[in-house]
Amino acid sequence: MEQLILQLKHLGYTEYEAKAYIALVQNSHVSAYQVSKDSGIPRARIYETLDLLVNKGLVLKESTLNQTIYSALPVSMFLAKSKEQWQQNFESMSEELKKIEKNEPKEENKILVLKSRESIIQYCKKVLSEAKNKIVLSMWDDMYEELRELLEDKSKSVSIKGITLHVENALPTLDEHRITSYTETNTNPHWFIISVDGHSMIYGPSPEEREVAFFTNDPVHIYLLEDYVWHDVLVNRLVKQTSMDLNEWITKERTAFFGGVS
């Protein structure tokens, strides 16, 4: 009964109104005194409560020379009435909220710093769950395993492209990064990049190494890092297509480009 009273209160009725209507559903065509007795509403408040219900159309009032009798609106009619009112309120609310949403100022480009391993993982899951069309990613096995279940689920409805390293049984749409002396050095950070719909992005080192990452909706950041992922994918595909051993040459060129940093 308490749950039913709570549900009626959620529809906008007071606790006394809910109790009085329920009492009349159980025992209709009775006096105010009987409603008070059945519902536990104080006699000093019962007439006021019943009059409110009469005005709202939930209770019928029949007055004779001897007494006044109250009856509940049939449950089927009450439910139909409540559903109609809820539908009207919902449609009105939807229209007003959409008007407000359209009038909101354009979202500013931003970069947020995320700290703590838990916050980074949860933010990654939030961004991934909002994907509508595509996900572009680059990540190592430690980060992939944290997000594997969600990625596999999202792959059923959105395009997921990118590259992984040391990931076993990754999604077939993802390229596998070649293993090189550079990727296997202890000083090589395990970076990750997650870009969603070209609108939002999280990137940073593995939370296992350093508990900091960055979220941005800035289109310049997103373009540059998505392009970085594509170039990484492209180089790996080109290496696989040639019969030459390019790893030594790539290592030499990297060292020369970065001034001795391998």
Whether residue 262 has pLDDT greater than 50: no
Q: Average per-residue pLDDT in the chain?
A: 87
Which stretches of the chain are assigned E, i.e. beta strand? 59-63, 68-72, 111-115, 134-140, 159-165, 174-176, 191-196, 200-205, 212-216
Q: Does 92 map to a domain?
A: no
Among the ranges given (92-96, 184-188, 196-200), the one the predictor scored with the smallest mean pLDDT? 184-188
Which stretches of 166-225 are assigned E, i.e. beta strand? 174-176, 191-196, 200-205, 212-216
- Which tokens is 105 given? 């100022």
- Domain coverage including residue 231: 111-257
For residues 229 and 167, membership in a common domain is answered with yes
CA 98/CA 103 separation, integer angstroms: 9
Among the ranges given (74-83, 135-144, 169-178, 248-257), the one the predictor scored with the smallest mean pLDDT? 248-257
Whether residue 35 has pLDDT greater than 80: yes
Nearest to 141 by CA among 168, 111, 103: 168
Return the number of other C-beta atoms located less than 10 Å from residue 174's C-beta: 21
For residues 27 and 154, membership in a common domain is answered with no
For residues 136 and 68, membership in a common domain is answered with no
139 by DSSP, 3-state: which? strand
For residues 68 and 115, membership in a common domain is answered with no
Any idea which residue has 């960055």 for tokens?
214
Whether residue 108 has pLDDT greater than 80: no
Q: Does 104 map to a domain?
A: no
Whether residue 64 has pLDDT greater than 90: no
pLDDT number for residue 190: 86
Total domain count, the chain:
2
Whether residue 5 has pLDDT greater than 90: no
Whether residue 169 has pLDDT greater than 50: yes
Residue type, 262: S
Q: Compare 103 and 95 and report the one with higher pLDDT.
A: 95
For residues 143 and 251, membership in a common domain is answered with yes
Whether residue 165 has pLDDT greater than 90: yes
Q: Does 56 map to a domain?
A: yes
Q: What is the mean pLDDT of residues 112-139?
A: 93
Q: What is the mean pLDDT of residues 138-161?
A: 94
pLDDT number for residue 103: 64
Q: What is the DSSP string of 52-104?
A: HHHHTTSEEEEE-SS-EEEEEPPHHHHHHHHHHHHHHHHHHHHHHHHHHHHHS
What does residue 129 show for φ and ψ, rounded to 5 degrees? -65, -20
Q: Compare 202 and 261 and report the one with higher pLDDT.
A: 202
CA 35/CA 13 separation, integer angstroms: 17
| Cα 225-227-229 angle, rounded to 5 deg | 70
